[in-house]
Amino acid sequence: MGRLQDKVALVTGASGGIGAATVRALHREGARVVAADVTTGAGEKLAAELGCTFSKLDVTSEQDWKHVVADIVAQHGSLDVLVNAAGIEGDVVHGTPESTSLAEWRRVMSVNLDGTFLGCREALPVMKRRGAGSIINISSTVAYIATPNSTAYGASKAGVMQLTKSVALHGSLEGHRVRCNSVHPGIIATRMIESISAQLAQFNNVAVDDVARASMSRIPFGEAGRPEDVAELILFLASDESRYITGSEFSIDGGWRLMGRPKPANK
């Protein structure tokens, strides 16, 4: 018997590094996983490999959310775990409070914050009918610090942290045990981190390897985390092992946040 035996789980952003690793971890522990992403391809291939269901889901679409959750309930009868892992970084070097366009602000917010809100909203009534469930929202270590060059991204991830607490309290009322917690990755070896490193390298006119070395120098553990590291934390929060944990945030960053933030470059 796995730690999530026969639980039904929905993972968004299943094509991404953390999303894909989470799909694998939950499936390994016996969950009936629905892997969801806005594009077919990697997520669909992963689902086929594992024998899971794949659902095309644009997390910014209210109708997509309603359709996917209704399909899950029709097919499986319940939804026990939701992992909101879909996210985008936006402009991380020119996205200052002065230079960020309203269109860019809305684009980042629509995926990172609106998408997480819609997922929570659609999952809550299904989970409340069963009296229990676990929602795990992926925030970021930057939710705790200023992000003057990536204003929209930082604000969206801080919003996810606060939203998580509101969902957690709401889900615990009237005798329900719908838990909600946020996971805050630091520098994890994913496509998003590769994209951020490339943006920073171009902005500073240096090699990508130089950016990577500078980043590693600020992590006490001295290396980037793996998507699997984050997935194992998500697995714990999805399982009954964390049955008494809700409304909490979990940093997974190799100690990066302990080092503080360097003074931003003026360019």
Q: Are 171 and 133 in contact (CB under 8 A)?
A: yes
Task: Give the chain as a DSSP string.
Answer: --TTTT-EEEESSTTSHHHHHHHHHHHHTT-EEEEEESSSSHHHHHHHHHT-EEEE--TT-HHHHHHHHHHHHHHHS---EEEE-------SSSB-TTT--HHHHHHHHIIIIIHHHHHHHHHHHHHHHHTEEEEEEE--GGGGS--TTBHHHHHHHHHHHHHHHHHHHHHTGGG-EEEEEEEEE-SBSSHHHHHHHHHHHHHHTS-HHHHHHHHHTT-TT-SPBPHHHHHHHHHHHHSGGGTT--S-EEEESTTGGGG--PPPP--
Question: Among candidates 143, 140, 134, which has minimal Cα distance to 181?
Answer: 134
Residue with token string 């069963």:
130
Greatest distance between any 2 Cα atoms in the chain = 57
Q: Which of 65, 153, 250, 256 is catalytic?
A: 153
Q: Which two tokens stand for residue 125?
A: 């009534």
Would residue 244 show up in a list of annotated catalytic residues for this protein? no
> In angstroms, rounded to a whole number, what is the distance separating the alpha carbons of residues 124 and 131?
10
Catalytic residues: 153
